[in-house]
Structures are given as structure tokens and as C-alpha cells.
């Protein structure tokens, strides 16, 4: 009986926490379907009296939202691919290849995690200015594609847990380090790489600071930058902003829905290791 009451109490707490987490998202969708006056009505209503579906059409046509969507998708795919590949390779080298100074290099990655992102963006901006890379997508790719110390940390911890006998068996069979990495290591740490890819995609898709620093032309803007342009100098049309934000969050939801199995596997494996 006590166990049932405990389980029921935990479930009630989780339901309340889930409702609190979902409420801002539901409010965003609700506001996106309201008129400008109803968005500030008091007392506030979650369900609009009149559904203004035209807000979505206006949000898509008021600014080049389609172009920004393509820009964000292109940068996210390139940066995620680069971050996952470099993190996995660095994690493999630091976790399984024994060489002098590997622990010190890994300590350097940990130290970089404590450095604020804005600190490295300033010198990089000056360097990119010298190479005329400002206002180009290449500057953002060079800034983020190979920079993810948290990914290196995650991959190293997963790869270190793999039995050394697998690596030794590959070497005995005549495989080189590249073959061992792609044929043995990568399939075994797929849940970790999938989780890393999802978090990296979310971070890149929602990134505002880096594009704000390096991009100036509207046709090169990403979705977060274009959303910021919905704010006027004196007024803000919150209905359009919420409609555009709802459209912008769709790719993240789609990626999570298709890859949530790997996230759960990654969490499960992490729990088993601890």
C-alpha cells in the first residue's frame, strides 16, 4: 500500500511538472491565434474567442521567413555534422588511444568549457574581419562546426566504457584506427552520438548570438535573427511573433520525435554506467 501511494505521489508530481513545462508552449500557440487586442486582454484566456489563422500567413510573408528557414537549416546541418564528427573522433583519440599528454589535452577541453562563449567570439571576429569573412555563413561554420567541448567530454566518457578487447581484436584482424573507429566504435556509441546530434541541432537552430555578431545582410539571416525583426521601434505585434515562433520550433519538435528513442537509450546507458 505504501509503495502504491509513493508511486501515485511521484506520478502526480511528474504530471504537475509536465503541465508547468508545457504551459508556456501552449500559451505561445494560443497567442499566435489571437488578435493584437485579445493578446493583452484581461483576464487572459488560453482559448481565443476568434481563431486568427491569418497570423501565420502574415508572419510568413511579412519578412523573408522562407529564406531564413533555409539558412538556419543549412547551418544547423553543417554544424551538427561537424560537431558530431569532430567530437566523436576526439573522444575516440582521448578515450582509447594511449599517447603522451592525452590527459592534459582532455583537461584543456574541460577548461575551455568554463570559458564564456563571448570571450572567444571577440578575437575570432577580429580574425574573420582580416579575411573578409564577416557577413558570410562560412564565419558561423568556422566558429561552431568544430567547437563543442561538451561533445568531446560526452563522447570520451562513452567510448572509454567500451571494452579494450574490441579495439585489440580489430587490430589483430588488421584494421587500422580509422576502420576501428567507423566500424566498431561508432555503431556502439550511436545512442550517445544521436543525443549529441539532437542537442547540437537545438543549440544551432536557436543560436542568436553568433549570427547576430557575424551577419549583417537580411537575406543571410537565420530564423532567430529574423524573429527579432518583428519587434518595431515603438510597438511589438506579439501575435505575429508567436506565430513565427511556433513555425520556427517545428523542426526541433520533428527531430526530437524521430530521435527520442536514441535519447532514451543514451540516458539508460548512462544510468547503467553510474
Percent of the chain with pLDDT over 90: 4
Tell me how far apart the alpha carbons of residues 72 and 224 are, in angstroms, rounded to a whole number. 9
Residue identified by cell 561554420 is 141
Among the ranges given (61-75, 194-208, 250-264), the one the predictor scored with the smallest mean pLDDT? 250-264
Domains along the sequence of the chain with CATH = 63-273 (1.10.3720.10)
In this structure, how many other beta carbons lie within 10 angstroms of the beta carbon of residue 186?
17
What is the per-residue pLDDT across 13-35, written as a single tens digit (0 to 9) for each?
Answer: 989 998 888 888 888 888 888 87
The grid cell for 211 is 549570427
pLDDT of 272 over the 50 cut? no
pLDDT of 234 over the 80 cut? no
228-265 in b/e form (b: 16+ CB < 10 A) is eebeeeeeebbbbbbbbbbbbbebeeebeeebeebeee
**pLDDT at residue 71 in the model:** 92
Q: What is the mean pLDDT of the chain?
A: 82
Alpha helices in the chain (DSSP H): 2-32, 54-62, 65-96, 102-113, 117-130, 137-144, 149-160, 164-172, 177-180, 186-188, 190-205, 209-214, 223-228, 238-273
Tell me how far apart the alpha carbons of residues 97 and 108 are, in angstroms, rounded to a whole number. 17
Amino acid at each position: 500500500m505504501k509503495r502504491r501511494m509513493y508511486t501515485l505521489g511521484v506520478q502526480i508530481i511528474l504530471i504537475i511538472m509536465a503541465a508547468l513545462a508545457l504551459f508556456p508552449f501552449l500559451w505561445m500557440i494560443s497567442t499566435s491565434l489571437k488578435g493584437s487586442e485579445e493578446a493583452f486582454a484581461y483576464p487572459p484566456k488560453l482559448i481565443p474567442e476568434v481563431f486568427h489563422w491569418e497570423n501565420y500567413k502574415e508572419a510568413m510573408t511579412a519578412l523573408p521567413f522562407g529564406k531564413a528557414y533555409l539558412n538556419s537549416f543549412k547551418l544547423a546541418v553543417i554544424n551538427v555534422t561537424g560537431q558530431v564528427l569532430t567530437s566523436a573522433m576526439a573522444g575516440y583519440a582521448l578515450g582509447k588511444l594511449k599517447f603522451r599528454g592525452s590527459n592534459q589535452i582532455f583537461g584543456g577541453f574541460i577548461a575551455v568549457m568554463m570559458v564564456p562563449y563571448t570571450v572567444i567570439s571577440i578575437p575570432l571576429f577580429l580574425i574573420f574581419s582580416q579575411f573578409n569573412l564577416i557577413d558570410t555563413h562560412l564565419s558561423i561554420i568556422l566558429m561552431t562546426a568544430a567547437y563543442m567541448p561538451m561533445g568531446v567530454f560526452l563522447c570520451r566518457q562513452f567510448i572509454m566504457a567500451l571494452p579494450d578487447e574490441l579495439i585489440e581484436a580489430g587490430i589483430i584482424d588488421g584494421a587500422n584506427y580509422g576502420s576501428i573507429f567507423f566500424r566498431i566504435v561508432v555503431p556502439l556509441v550511436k545512442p550517445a552520438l544521436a543525443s549529441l546530434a539532437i542537442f547540437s541541432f537545438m543549440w544551432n537552430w536557436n543560436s542568436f548570438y553568433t549570427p547576430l555578431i557575424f551577419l549583417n545582410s537580411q537575406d543571410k539571416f537565420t530564423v532567430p535573427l529574423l524573429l527579432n525583426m518583428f519587434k518595431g521601434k515603438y510597438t511589438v505585434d506579439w501575435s505575429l511573433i508567436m506565430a513565427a515562433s511556433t513555425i520556427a520550433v517545428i523542426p526541433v519538435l520533428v527531430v526530437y520525435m524521430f530521435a527520442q528513442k536514441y535519447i532514451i537509450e543514451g540516458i539508460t546507458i548512462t544510468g547503467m554506467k553510474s
